[in-house]
Structure 1
């Protein structure tokens, strides 16, 4: 019996691989021309046709990036990265399609196993799973149109433009893999969720998806053109070039080194007022509105949302700082100053009091991480659901609160549960999931909810009503919980200047 399976796409015939436990995978399919040479730092171009049968059994390189402590060992990176992967139960039929967009602070990430493996979600949910690579870092988000003149018009947010190109490929080809192009759900974590928020606001992405799952979405971290212009100019200076055209000849390794030198290493400094990093730019054309502005205007109401965050978002960074012997040196005064600069003095005092009451023995550094978790992920998730539903859309809310060993419900820890592969691969994290007695039940519950949302638009609980307090809890406890919790909600209602605060603020619950 052959272990291969073949389909014909708009670009040519592919040979994929049958999987031992059922289904098939088609890997490394080009959805755009390689962004190299003259196409480096340019919008994605349609892929060329090929003759014969193209091998689609091998996963391709992730985009150029500097590996971090959680990067899989042996990962391969290359500028020729614009490829899509498809896992399907059967090339016959018309199943819901779930398209994964990876996170990584818009500087790293991968669409290939073990970071992403769609086979268990594909089988468990009876859905077609898609992942793809998009450009990150300066190669994906350097804002050159502001400093390069007319020759660089249209080059903003290249990483987001890659995503639109991938979704167009899905729209045009997914029926050949057994998928339904009229029932496409995006799902993504962290920067991937922020990207989904941007896609909701982008005219070029309209009609390419029906539903969206935003997991820990830092949607407030979108930069003004002036900030992005200064960052791009500093990149050129760091590389010793004077014009954007010269970047075509600079080795990718030098660009990676330079892009790291000119942005803060600390996640909090990047995200707080005055910070900067590589990521989406409100350029006015590719991205004309922020996700919250689009939601408030009713632009997103035709898309059903599933949106939430994790209880212990930033505590993973505490572990990383301890392991590396680094981290900010804070006392109570500097903590107050930083939070007050972000959300105003009344909110700062109330938030610190609430965090301190919940963790009396916490250091200022720990309280800062609690604030940043709210600031970056939990409050934006709540306010996105509020804006979307107040404008007539439907949203379902959740909170991930698993008490996993060591890491708790830290940032990204829900992703393996959603994919259903939390206990399948090797490594420290897989062992951690296997050691926690609630893993099997929680994994089944999350995979089922996410797949059912993709199938019907209903994950299994009541949708959010504006001003409501309840979110579905996925963790050691199963049920519903106030989110944000009552202990911090009143304090966050005092926030000013926070990028998610609407001009007319919706009241948060008491």
Structure 2
């Protein structure tokens, strides 16, 4: 006779590589952690495309979260070995599955984490799939992928031809994970015919490329892109120059020597050779790790491919935060590079971004925005040699204006451009602007703040108020509806009709995006 008081048996799942045993988390909900979806990219497989994992016999325990991908530790973005103090490793190609019921058949959400293509992990606390699964009712899968030079290096140097298929390795990792999900998710209670790929920041920009990648076709059916879309694509000559700088910094003559170089030397060098100004790295001519139009893995500019209908059959939900660049203004406020030397320097940056009438745009920003400043000590308490002759007040104003401009240039306008070309190609796109201020007006709706709601971190941050819970439920409710019905609960984006971008966390509930005052662009 079965003991009614006995703990439920540990759940198991039969995959194409072997049997897994996970853990019960709450009722019928279960976690399967640290599942290999590719062979460890170490030794001779460093800087090589992902290979299939080695099958196992018997039952493999899937109860421990995997290390995050190898990356640098920073005071501002993480602690210990990586974000949140979590262990990191080159042996990182594993994924986690959170399922409400392993015997069900639920929508699947594959979460691609962000982190500027240099940081991040698929494991808690950075990625809380348990909360996301509970709030959306979906089976949530979060894969790791290689970051920094190990994931986004463009082959260059004297032996580059031998490494031609090693471009955009992070994107190849993501594609391999999506294939694994399509082939195995039914064993975890997921519906293989209803898979949505979702992500924020670098994860969302990656999805913009996955939408146009033939190798990823058929592995997902819908996409949610938050704080990332299209437009962050480096040309191969610029990316090759970055790789050559990396080789020199590491002291390697070619990629074969880089494959054998000490990991810590690569991690240190990959940061030293990139542009540190987050605005500059996201505008034409910027230098950082990320998606490269290499011609082998990314054969066509994703924007052009989507405009030609490559994603017409994939409904899109596209979001951005109202004050995206407030994050970087705060984090790097003590650095001179976030402060334009003068107004002319800011106008030149606007022109570089394609603004037709930069002075008119600057006037429009001044007329329509009086942004609250992040803590002044982070903005103005700088060494004297880093300040120009302008007053602190002028410096703060120019910094605020640059923050407004970069928010639009890198995130909001690109999001709407994706919606427009998807719609023009015959596809479906819904848009929203996230405007909640979880840490108050000085920080606004900063880059990444939506994760405080999606991962239900309100209690741990002591902001678990009725208003914030309502924002959480609106955001995750929209995601849940989109996962199930391909519609979040409001009309699709229509650029030539009434306001159709949903605003979450502020009024009015629907707005024009981009705002009409940006017409000088």
**In structure 2, what is the Cα distance between the partners aligned to 1:20 and 1:178?**
15
Q: Could you say if the C-alpha distance between residues 202 and 74 of structure 1 is closer, same or farther in structure 2, counting changes exceeding 3 Å?
A: same
Q: 1:298 — aligned with what? A: 309
**In structure 2, what is the Cα distance between the partners aligned to 1:250 and 1:185?**
38
CA apart distance, 1:329? 4.7
Q: 1:24 — aligned with what? A: 30
**In structure 1, what is the Cα distance between the partners aligned to 2:466 and 2:8?**
39
- Other structure's SS at 2:286 match: coil
Instruction: Give the one of 389, 398, 401 matched to 1:364.
Output: 398
Q: 1:354 — aligned with what? A: 364
CA apart distance, 1:386? 0.2
Q: Deviations along 1:12-68, whole A, 9 cap, x unmatched? A: 111101013651110010000000000000000000111222111110110111133
Q: 1:506 — aligned with what? A: none
Is the 2:208–2:229 contact (alpha carbons within 8 Å) kept by the matching residues of 1?
no
Q: 1:499 — aligned with what? A: none
Instruction: Give the one of 378, 385, 397 matched to 2:419.
Output: 385
- Which sections of structure 2, spanning at least 5 residues, go unmatched? 1-6, 372-395
**In structure 1, what is the Cα distance between the partners aligned to 2:158 and 2:404?**
37
> TM-score if structure 2 supplies the norm length?
0.89
**In structure 2, what is the Cα distance between the partners aligned to 1:73 and 1:458?**
34
| 1:319 equivalent in alignment to 2:330 | yes
| 1:463 equivalent in alignment to 2:473 | no
CA apart distance, 1:439? 0.8
CA apart distance, 1:467? 3.3
Q: Deviations along 1:254-300, whole A, 9 cap, x unmatched? A: 11111111111111111222211100111122111222111111111
**In structure 2, what is the Cα distance between the partners aligned to 1:228 and 1:351?**
31
**In structure 2, what is the Cα distance between the partners aligned to 1:470 and 1:396?**
8
| 1:101 equivalent in alignment to 2:112 | yes
| 1:416 equivalent in alignment to 2:452 | yes
- Other structure's SS at 1:130 match: strand
| 1:39 equivalent in alignment to 2:73 | no
Q: Deviations along 1:221-269, whole A, 9 cap, x unmatched? A: 1011111111111111111111110112211111111111111111111
Is the 1:65–1:137 contact (alpha carbons within 8 Å) kept by the matching residues of 2?
yes
Q: Deviations along 1:143-185, whole A, 9 cap, x unmatched? A: 1167534311211100000000000100111000000111000
Is the 1:61–1:76 contact (alpha carbons within 8 Å) kept by the matching residues of 2?
yes
CA apart distance, 1:359? 3.2
**In structure 1, what is the Cα distance between the partners aligned to 2:335 and 2:85?**
21
**In structure 2, what is the Cα distance between the partners aligned to 1:147 and 1:179?**
46
Aligned residues: 483
> TM-score if structure 1 supplies the norm length?
0.91
| 1:130 equivalent in alignment to 2:159 | no
Q: 2:506 — aligned with what? A: 476
RMSD value, Cα: 1.8
- Other structure's SS at 1:19 match: strand
Q: 2:86 — aligned with what? A: 75
CA apart distance, 1:484? 1.0
Instruction: Give the one of 254, 260, 268 matched to 2:271.
Output: 260
Is the 2:168–2:291 contact (alpha carbons within 8 Å) kept by the matching residues of 1?
yes
**In structure 2, what is the Cα distance between the partners aligned to 1:160 and 1:382?**
23
- Other structure's SS at 1:237 match: helix
**In structure 2, what is the Cα distance between the partners aligned to 1:124 and 1:137?**
31
1:79-228 to structure 2, matched below 5 A, reads: 79-144=90-155, 148-228=159-239
**In structure 1, what is the Cα distance between the partners aligned to 2:416 and 2:100?**
35
**In structure 1, what is the Cα distance between the partners aligned to 2:157 and 2:476?**
43
Q: Which moved more, 1:21-30 or 1:165-174?
A: 21-30
Q: Could you say if the C-alpha distance between residues 93 and 382 of structure 1 is closer, same or farther in structure 2, counting changes exceeding 3 Å?
A: same
1:428-439 to structure 2, matched below 5 A, reads: 430-431=461-462, 433-434=463-464, 437-439=466-468
Is the 2:500–2:512 contact (alpha carbons within 8 Å) kept by the matching residues of 1?
yes
CA apart distance, 1:473? 0.8
